[in-house]
Amino acid sequence: MFGLETDVFLLLFLSLFAACAFEFVNGFHDTANAVATVIYTNSLKPTVAVVWSGICNFAGVLLGGIGVAMGIVNLLPVELLVDQNVYHSIAMVLALLISAIIWNLGTWYFGLPSSSSHTLIGSILGVGLAFSTLPENTEGSAVNWEKAIETGQALLLSPLLGFSLAIVLMFLLRRSVPEEAKDQLFKEPKKHMLPPSWIRGILITTCSLVSFFHGSNDGQKGVGLVMLILIGIVPFQFAVKSDVDPRSMQTNIAGIEQTIGALNPSQLSPANQTRLAHTRTELAELRSMLSGNLPDNQIPQEQRMQVRRDLLLINSNMNKIAEDEGANLSSNQLSVLKTSLSEENGLRRFTDYAPFWVILMIALSLGLGTMIGWRRIVVTVGEKIGKQHLTYAQGASAELVAASMIGLASWAKLPVSTTHVLSSGIAGSMVANRGIKNLQAGTVRNIALAWVLTLPVSILLSFTLYIFFRWLL
């Protein structure tokens, strides 16, 4: 299959299985956060809650797009890691997968709601840093630090916003809800007693939204992970999308060349003058490829990795050139450039994609994982963050904030941590109720410790494993 030798195909299969295992673990690790509120407010029985959450996660992956997935792929300039030795690419994917799974399982075992997002991103960064230390790396850094910083900011700010917005929402509820409803919302649920139907409807809705948006964000990370594997191990098949006629990019190339024609290179910064020269070269390479023989209206397999490099570099360089004060591009010229580079009809549609079978495979893994192993994290979220039992208002506030923030992050194509957003929302709702003294210091300390350690530990694990697998393979 894919023209691979038997041993390489088996390693590819193992890598894809490990990616599904990561997403499966992600399901029962992270989704417990979504179902904790409906379980602890007696809105749904645990079995019903996790099955429903699994269905919502499945739908979220299928309908969530691939923007976040491509953000994960672009953390690493994969092109630097793909060389003539396919075993080096296998070492890369095994290192980041195994390190992510080890940390996820470890924190789940101790009932700590740590972030699968932090774990995966740390593992990717660790592999990139390890590669940058190898003698054969002549390109310098093997991490896309611009994208890494953008991702880090999203991961850092989201729990702080979740904590703050939950406090604000609790305050607004206390001020705006009628007294008769307030008595029901802010009282601790009675054991084994269903909440009023209107409250139950709100809580089930917010649980569904958190689960759906968790699928649309965290599920995409699994899709990105699989694409990283496929691009690394079988680049001839997956470096660029093969079911789009490559000649259609001629219109995009013409639009970019039109933008370049409007530039005065002497007014650009020296760095952007260099980028402009490189872009002209890359555009010429694409035109040369398009003027040659294209069997079956497809990019020749042996040229696909180079075409991917050219497309990504053109996109990166032109975006930086357009931001240069000396570019002086009109709004119409910027619009033409944006269209020529876009993921819908521009050059990025050849690189930013995922086959449907990849999305379906991850959706099934996440959905099934949701239905298993949820209890440990649920107990932490429901009982151990605050000193009081979770009230209806607290559960609804935390989940509404979490769903909104995860949905916005998915729209902005940024990865965030469902775990941290929801856990911080619950903590904020506890503080809003009775002040900071309402938090259980031990649990908050353990969650914070897991949050602080996740990135360095996963970076160190994947760094070490990558060096080991490179030596082994």
Q: Does residue 464 belong to any structural domain of this protein?
A: yes
In this structure, are 176 and 269 located in the same domain? no
- Across 271-363, the runs of DSSP E, i.e. the strands, are none
The DSSP symbol for 373 reads S
Q: Are residues 376 and 460 in the same domain?
A: yes
- Asked if residue 1 is part of any domain, the answer here is no
Burial class (CB in 10 A: 0-12, 13-18, 19+), 448: exposed
pLDDT for position 111? 64
pLDDT at 455: 81
The total of structural domains in the chain comes to 2
Question: Rounded to 5 degrees, what angle do the CA atoms 66, 68, 74 make?
Answer: 100
85 has pLDDT over 70? no
Of the three residues 351, 374, 392, the one that is the final residue of a domain is 351
Q: Do 395 and 284 sit in the same domain of this protein? A: no
DSSP 439: B
119: in domain: yes
Contact 207, 60 (CB under 8 A): no
Q: Answer yes or no: do 327 and 415 share one domain.
A: no
Last residue of a domain, one of 351, 367, 385: 351
Torsion of CA 414, 419, 423, 428, to 10 degrees: 0
Has residue 280 got a pLDDT over 90?
A: yes
* Three-class SS state of 386: strand
C-alpha 101: how far from chain center: 16
Give the pLDDT confidence of 100-126 residue by residue, as tens digits: 888 877 776 776 656 677 788 888 888
92: confidence class by pLDDT, cuts 50, 70, 90: confident
Has residue 196 been placed in a domain?
yes
Q: Is the pLDDT of residue 356 over 90?
A: yes
- The b-or-e profile of 20-56 (16+ CB within 10 A means b, else e) is bbbbbbbbbbbbbbbbbbbbbbbbbeeeebbbbbbbb
Question: Which SS3 state, helix, strand or coil, does residue 134 take?
Answer: coil
Whole-angstrom Cα distance, residue 115 to residue 416? 9
Residue 30: CA atoms inside 13 Å, Cβ hemisphere, count? 33
Distance CA 403, CA 241 (A): 32
What is the reported pLDDT for 84? 53
Instruction: State whether 366 and 437 are in the same domain.
Output: yes
The model's pLDDT over 301-310, given as tens digits with 9 standing for 90+, comes to: 888 888 888 8
Q: Are 209 and 54 in contact (CB under 8 A)?
A: no
Q: 280 and 319, same structural domain?
A: yes
Query: Quick one: 204 and 261 in the same domain?
Result: no
Cβ atoms 113, 382 nearer than 8 A? no
Instruction: Report d(CA 173, CA 199) in Å as an integer.
Output: 13
197 contact partners, CB below 8 Å, separation of at least 6? none
Shared domain check, 347 and 359: no
409-456 pLDDT tens trace: 888 887 777 777 877 777 777 777 666 665 666 556 666 666 677 788
How does DSSP assign 234-287, residue by residue? Answer: -HHHHSS-SSS-GGGHHHHHHHHHHHHHT--GGGS-HHHHHHHHHHHHHHHHHH
**What pLDDT shows up at residue 303?**
86
Spatial separation of the C-alpha atoms in residues 29 and 11, rounded to whole Å: 26
Q: What is the pLDDT of residue 122?
A: 84
Q: Same structural domain for residues 107 and 23?
A: yes
Decide if pLDDT at 153 tops 70. Answer: yes
**Predicted pLDDT at 386:** 46
Residue 383 is classified by DSSP as I
Structure tokens at 314: 């053109």
79 CB-side CA count, 13 A: 19
Instruction: List residues bridging with 439 in a β-sheet.
Output: 386
Domain-terminating residue out of 351, 375, 405: 351
pLDDT surpassing 50 at residue 172: yes
Helices 145-176, 418-434: axis angle to 10 degrees equals 30
Q: Return mean pLDDT, the chain.
A: 80
Domain that holds residue 323: 246-351
**By percentage, how much of the chain surpasses pLDDT 70?**
82
Residues 270 and 124 in one domain: no
426 and 346, same structural domain? no
Beta bridge partners of 386: 439
pLDDT of 453-466, one tens digit each?
778 888 899 899 98
pLDDT score for 256: 92
Whether 95 and 230 map to the same domain: the answer is yes
